[in-house]
Chain A
Amino acid sequence: MTTRSRKLRGGGSIVFAPPAAENHPLKVTQFRAWRVREPVSNRRYTVVRLQSQGGIVGHGEGGPAPAAEIVAARAAVMDRRATESEYIRAALRGAPALEAAVSNAMLDLVSRAKNVPIYRYLGGPVRFKARLLGHLEGATPAESAPSLERAKGHGIQAFTTAAPARDAMIPLRAYVDLVRQQYADMQRLAGASAEWVLDAAGAMTPGDAASVAVALERSHPIWFDEPTLVTTQDALAKIVDESTMPIGLGRHITDMAAFQSLLAGGSVNIVRPDLGLNSLTKIKRVAAVAETHYVGIAPFHNGGPIGSMAGIHLNASILFAYAQQIPVPASDRDAAMRVEIASGLKESGDKGFFALLNRPGLGFEVNERGLDAWSEERI
């Protein structure tokens, strides 16, 4: 690789024009936000509601965010047209959860105003159904069983399973055997038709992850997710050079250049930007980079049902999108709360896929009373 420096790289901040003063029907005139918490899992996320001059409402979800960031996001988006996603991407660069929530709410608003599903506004659909990946709760097969049962009942056929953490007293070989055993236990529990993603949640060293990757190669997980938090190219080379296991990475990344670096280095086989930290429009840009490397994209998601549905619209507009991760609660209370927020819409599929909804915006009405009931704070 050449060492040529990039004189134009980085650059100064972009100067955007001030908001247009006229009364455009898509001008954002109202902003509201909820800091939501699920009752049992304590899963947290932020939901933003925007209303336009023309009276159209859109909702978007991002990850958990402090009240100060929400207030700053309100100042950024008010009086802007709901189409100005590039402005929002720049203005909220330092508040990724709000960038996701606000930008996605803008997309919902504009799509509703134009009476089209979000996927159509984004240039899709490229597929008529989106593959679901059930994100199971629980660290062991026993703990994950209720979540797995619910996911199977929801027609999901691909799941994540957590890799056990390594105790310092456990020898490497015993640890690798433990991961392999737990993976096999989950396979037995779910049955032969299930497919799996092994999720290390960044808890392994690159060396341990390489050993696990080699040990599980012949089990053919769809991929090995977030094996380590050490995402330097040298560290990741230990894993990708020593095995043929596909590697998923990116749930903590919000910087386009970091995604590009992983892809250019050949360090990743499936890119996993978090829907709670990256807007759909931003992830489309990440997908454009990934496409040139023939690398797929499967957004990480551990938020609420509004985010899940947004992810499905994104999946339907990108050719190289593989699956949308859906959190599957273990508790009935959390599950009921998610359905309530989504006005009865279930995050479920048929034979592993969610059939796209041909309705405007997200495709369902957000139940704001439900948000009121389940939020820690309304801003």
Chain B
Amino acid sequence: MKRRQLLSALAAAGALGAVPGRRRASPSPLHDCGCAPQIVTAKDKPPGAAAFRDVASRLRVTNMRVFGVTLDERIAQADRPYVFVKIETNEGVTGWGEATLEGKAAAAMACVMDLKDLIIGSDPMQVEHLYQSMYIGSFYRGGPVLGSAISGIDQALWDIRGKVMGMPVYEMLGGPVDARGVRGYYHADAWTLAAARELRDKTKAAGVTALKFQLPDLLECVETNAKIKRAVAHMEMLREGLGPDLDFAVDFHARPSPTVAAIILREIEPLHLLFAEEICPPENVRAMARAVRHSTTPIATGERLIASFGYAELIDMGVVDVLQPDIAHVGGVSALWKVSATAEASGIRMAPHACEGPIGGIASLHVDAAGPNFLAQEICGFVDAGEKNRVWEDLMGFPAMRMAGGRYPLPTKTGLGVDINEEALKRYPFQGTRPFAMAFQEDGAVASI
């Protein structure tokens, strides 16, 4: 911008009682696409921050780092690299968040750093302003890459806020609703009646009250009698083996079309599932509505949706009974809380998705604990803890993703209650993005996994 233009812009801003960052009243002629140059931002870092000089805290973000964390495939073959975000401040308070995005780790890491200019130098206590800066200020709102990057940063900001306030985040959100902890469920599989009965006994012995299973087959847009019968029979077998007292959900993983989903949902009504998850692909809400209207089976969805806006149509149209935002994609604590509040107003329950690492999982517990419409928390783990649990202990000093008596205990430390050992992180160096697993139909066509 030339000097004369700059002075004219500042004069116009002054006449409006404006602050740097505000649009000019009469922009001078532009010679480009007009996307940005009307904004006066030259000396204001992060953009818009100067307006808050009298009302901000003394805390400032001094650095933001992102860590890719790859586990040995012998520990968890399909597991994604995890993406952790650390924010440092001028007063030594640090915050951790998680931006893990399955199949797009490098993109999420790059996007976190793309947002650096909005965060470095900012007041981390202004979490809503920073959330909106990242979401609205990115112009292209939403999408899983931006959503995951915002999620990691937002969680870290909440971690700092809680530490500064000297309380766990769930207390800042008005909780806990139940101080005993947050009900959870593990993933499970059982392909025979005997295996299901054995799983029942093991699950009950562990005090766990709910499990989640997958469908047996990939599915096409219309399906054969044989495949539909196999899907229904599988769930009937699970109910018989698990008994009437153990809750179980089934993740359809968006494999069926709405047409096929409607048929299956109708037939599994007597099984009284905890919920049926992602019963068809998530993009078209009206199509999903078509699938669910013939069944009383509770319907859950939402793990692939971003920001509270992503859920508005599902809620307004009354399509679902349970929402499943993922705190590592939806927009962190801020967005998960907003979705939860919006869902509550429509009598919809929350069962947040969590297939990331321990930071996101624990961050989710904080929002769960403050939500009166909370139902159950997913954690990617099994009744048998497995090797991955050792990694979480290595990184965090405790088995972060384990239930006791069917509940995840609430963190008692301030902030999110997590502290990552950076020395331990070096034992799991980032080894590049691992693509999401693919699946194909019998004829070679791409299938929803």
- Interface, chain A (partner B; CB < 8 A): 1-11, 14-17, 20, 81, 83-87, 89-90, 114, 116-117, 119-128, 256-257, 259-260, 263-264, 281, 284-286, 288-289, 291-293, 316-319, 351, 355-356, 358
Contact = CB atoms under 8 A, between A and B. Distances in A.
B237 interface: no
Given A2-B319, A289-B341, A291-B338, A121 B346 contact: no
A254 to B, nearest CB: 12
Contacts of B344: 256, 285
Given A124-B128, A125-B52, A126-B132, A4 B175 contact: no
Contact of B172 (A6, A7, A83, A316): A83
Contacts of B165: 114, 116, 121
Nearest to A357: B55
Nearest to A2: B289
B345 A6 contact: no
A89 B174 contact: yes
Interface in B47-61: 51-52, 54-57
B308 A2 contact: no
B5 to A, nearest CB: 26
B55 A4 contact: no
Contacts of B334: 123
Interface string B337-361: 1100110111111000000000000
Interface in B165-187: 165-167, 171-180
Contact of A260 (B179, B317, B345): B345
Contact of A8 (B174, B316, B349): B349
Given A4-B318, A14-B372, A318-B128, 13 more contacts: A2-B293, A4-B292, A8-B321, A83-B174, A114-B166, A117-B55, A120-B126, A128-B19, A128-B55, A256-B344, A259-B345, A264-B315, A292-B309
Contact of B322 (A8, A84, A123): A8
A6 B311 contact: no
A351 B312 CA distance: 36
A256 B289 CA distance: 24
4 nearest CB pairs, A to B: A9-B347, A85-B174, A260-B345, A292-B312
Contacts of B375: 8
A15 B372 contact: no
B317 A291 contact: no
B29 interface: no
A344 to B, nearest CB: 20
B125 interface: yes
A260 B180 CA distance: 31
12 contacts: A7-B321, A8-B348, A11-B347, A14-B177, A116-B57, A116-B125, A116-B165, A125-B55, A125-B129, A128-B55, A257-B346, A263-B316
A2 B318 contact: yes
Contacts of A90: 372
Contacts of A81: 171
Nearest to B335: A288
B244 interface: no
A353 B119 CA distance: 27
B296 interface: yes
Interface string B103-140: 00000000000000000000001111100100000000
Nearest to A319: B132
Interface string B139-176: 00000000000000000000001000111000111111
Contact of B337 (A7, A288, A318): A288
Contact of A292 (B56, B311, B337): B311
B17 interface: yes
A123 B127 contact: yes
A86 B345 contact: no
A2 to B, nearest CB: 4
A318 B166 CA distance: 23
A114 to B, nearest CB: 5
B178 A4 contact: no
B293 A358 contact: no
Contact of B167 (A7, A83, A293): A83
A126 B174 contact: no
A62 B228 CA distance: 57
B281 interface: no
Given A17-B176, A256-B344, A289-B342, A124 B129 contact: yes
A86 B171 CA distance: 10
B46 interface: no
Contacts of B379: none
B372 A86 contact: yes
Contacts of A83: 167, 171-172, 174
Contacts of B342: 260, 288-289, 292
B418 interface: no
A4 B174 contact: no
B327 interface: no
A123 B341 CA distance: 15
A4 B322 CA distance: 13
B370 interface: yes
A17 to B, nearest CB: 4
B298 interface: yes
Nearest to B370: A86
B128 A257 contact: no
B346 A260 contact: yes
Interface string B303-333: 0000011011001111101100000000000
A364 B293 CA distance: 54
A264 B296 CA distance: 23
B57 A17 contact: no
Contacts of A356: 54-55
A202 B312 CA distance: 28
B247 to A, nearest CB: 13
Nearest to B132: A319
A149 B292 CA distance: 59
Contact of B179 (A11, A17, A256, A318): A17
B289 A123 contact: no
Contact of A2 (B167, B312, B317): B317
Nearest to B157: A123
A85 B177 CA distance: 10
Interface in B272-289: 289
A125 B347 CA distance: 30
Interface in B373-431: 375
Contact of B298 (A8, A119, A122, A318): A8
A126 B126 contact: yes
A285 B321 contact: no
Given A4-B289, A8-B321, A121-B172, A358 B345 contact: no
A4 B285 CA distance: 13
B178 A15 contact: yes
Nearest to B292: A4
Contacts of A127: 51
B33 to A, nearest CB: 24
A7 B296 contact: yes
B317 A1 contact: yes
Interface string B18-53: 010000000000000000000000000000000110
Contacts of A87: 177
B93 to A, nearest CB: 14
Contacts of B341: 284-285, 288-289
